[in-house]
Amino acid sequence: MNKQDAKALTKLSPSLHANVQAIRTRFGGSSDLIVRLFRSDAAPDRELAIAYVDGIVNADTINESVMEPLMSLRLPEYMQRRGGKLLDALRSCVVSVGAVKEISTLEEALQYMADGLCLIMADGAASALTAEVCGGNQRAVTIPQTQTVIRGPQYGFVEDIRTNISLIRRIIRSPNLHVQIHKIGKQTNSNVAVLYLHGIVDEGILKEVYRRLADIDIDGVLESGYIEEFIQDETFTLFPTLLNTERPDTVAAALLEGRVAVMVDGTPIALMAPTNFFTFFQSPEDFYQRYDIATFVRIIRYVSFVLSMLLPALYIAVTTYHQEMLPTTLLISLAAQREGIPFPGLIEALLMEMTFEVLREAGLRMPRAIGPAISIVGALVLGQSAVQAGIVSAGMVIVVSFTAISNFVMPELNMAATSRIIRFALMLMAGMLGFFGIFISVLFLIVHLTSLRSFGVPYMSPLAPGPKMQGVWRDVFVRLPWWAIVLRPMDLNLRNPKRRPSGRKPPAQRHSDKP
């Protein structure tokens, strides 16, 4: 808090009624503001009041831990003093809530009430107590909706940041897990938590995260996407430079690697930084099943990503400019299919791709009961009808369908969306220049990827720049056995790079058949 803000703060008045009136005025007479004036055996000669916002507090906690102790207990004679000492007595002897804090300004009182805390005031005291009574209706912890796995934890984040932090602490049970909460948004005052593992995270990266968060000046933060656009390194790029997830185990794994997690109250999506290109091809399930199976599946993801971008462009280039590269039998078959098609290959591919994108978006926005059925039936009916009507060829339908299926293989939705957009640009270049246009586009993508940074970390690390062989293959294209993964990602400049002392497998005990 700077000096100008400190001068603007309003001190609480010793008059209880003046404080109550000020709170009611600042809330504008809101109907969910609850203020109760009462007298208590704890201080029979003093008038007390509690104030809270209904719906974001736990009414049972207020009744059992605040109201009942205040109205049923009586302080010893030597503790019944005037002024702020009464609040000290209430905090130490009466109120049974775990977290109780004394405040002295009206702005603090309003902020704590908006956060779901209860305010306890006493006549004659120029300060107040805040009691931790957060509650209200919240969504229960359920299976993640966007990142499902067959083997692994089956629970995901919710909209309550306190619950989300507790889910992380249930996995990483160490005092080295540090949590710092910031207030961002002049109107929403949203809680934004920064999580990291002390002793593992790089201090330079951590300071950069704090600096970028401190520079955010906005009226409100409703989702972590607001924060992502403010703190990402590059704005004008299709490739995501921050990893997002709704899985606590994914965040815990990132923290153990030395990354920093950013969580926003009101959303189940957490951000992780820094990241690189290859992280978006890793699934949490890769580390829960055998390393050979995980490696095979990971290679399939890389191949699918390339196909989802290049396959329609390659089809357009071959059928339009480079027919001599096809076997004669296949060329005759494709020519027979395209007989009577009124559009060139580029227009044909654009029509099919745009049709599929519309069906995909319609399936997402329609009610869940009919959304999948509409998208599947629409794709089948439209594809078959378009082929029979002679608008598109059967080969183009196969190419577009396989491209869409390859796009669904991606474990991260934001990287899958990137490949969808790049696909259209490659199709246009292939339609205009053939293979030469595809080559120029791919070269531009490689140069662009190597120029990106995520909080100062090269986006293509550990491949570029300056790769080391042990860093290239470890947990990038293949997943080594856990006993062979000794080092954390070296691109994070870690102070504590080792996960375990050595990369040797523990010897197995062989039991003799002899007694």
Rounded Cα–Cα distance for residues 515 and 507 (Å): 22
Determine, yes or no, domain membership for 80. yes
Determine, yes or no, domain membership for 98. yes
Rounded Cα–Cα distance for residues 478 and 473 (Å): 6
- What mean pLDDT do residues 342-351 have? 88
Determine, yes or no, domain membership for 465. no
What residues form DSSP beta bridges with 195? 179, 261
**What is the dihedral sign for C-alpha 198, 199, 203, 206?**
negative
Q: What are 174-198's pLDDT values in tens digits?
A: 999 999 999 999 998 999 999 999 9
Cβ atoms of 273 and 231 closer than 8 Å: yes
% of the chain residues with pLDDT over 90:
42
- What mean pLDDT do residues 190-217 have? 93
Residues 90 and 222 in one domain: no
Residues 419 and 303 in one domain: yes
The residue segments making up the domain with residue 222 are 161-275
Residues 301 and 270 in one domain: no
pLDDT of residue 421: 94
Residues 299 and 390 in one domain: yes
Q: Choose between 52 and 5: higher pLDDT.
A: 52
Total number of domains constituting the chain: 3
Cβ atoms of 23 and 51 closer than 8 Å: yes
Structure confidence at residue 6 as a pLDDT band (50, 70, 90): very low
- What mean pLDDT do residues 84-109 have? 82
Determine, yes or no, domain membership for 64. yes
Q: Which two tokens stand for residue 224?
A: 């972590």
Q: What are 468-480's pLDDT values in tens digits?
A: 544 445 678 888 8
Residues 373 and 244 in one domain: no
Cβ atoms of 182 and 216 closer than 8 Å: no
Residues 298 and 429 in one domain: yes
Count of CB atoms situated within 10 Å of the CB of 241: 22
Residues 239 and 320 in one domain: no
Residues 87 and 19 in one domain: yes
Residues 127 and 212 in one domain: no
Cβ atoms of 168 and 177 closer than 8 Å: yes
pLDDT of residue 372: 67
pLDDT of residue 17: 92
Residues 61 and 174 in one domain: no
Q: What are 24-79's pLDDT values in tens digits?
A: 999 988 888 999 998 887 777 788 899 999 988 888 888 888 888 888 776 665 55
Q: Which of 416, 433, 457 is the last residue of a domain?
A: 457
Rounded Cα–Cα distance for residues 488 and 500 (Å): 10
Determine, yes or no, domain membership for 496. no
Rounded Cα–Cα distance for residues 358 and 223 (Å): 26
pLDDT of residue 513: 53
Determine, yes or no, domain membership for 177. yes
Residues 384 and 351 in one domain: yes
Q: What are 274-287's pLDDT values in tens digits?
A: 999 999 999 988 88
Q: What are 298-318's pLDDT values in tens digits?
A: 999 999 999 999 999 999 999
State phi, psi for 51 to the nearest 5 degrees. -140, 140
SS3 annotation, 251-277: HHHHHHCCCEEEEECCCCCEEEECCCH
Mean model confidence pLDDT for the chain: 85
Whether the predicted pLDDT of 467 surpasses 60: no
DSSP string for residues in 78-125: GG--STTHHHHHHHHHT---S-EEEE-BHHHHHHHHHTTEEEEEETT-
Spell out the alpha helix ranges (H) of 339-486. Answer: 345-365, 371-388, 394-408, 413-433, 435-451, 469-473
pLDDT of residue 509: 60
Residues 73 and 167 in one domain: no
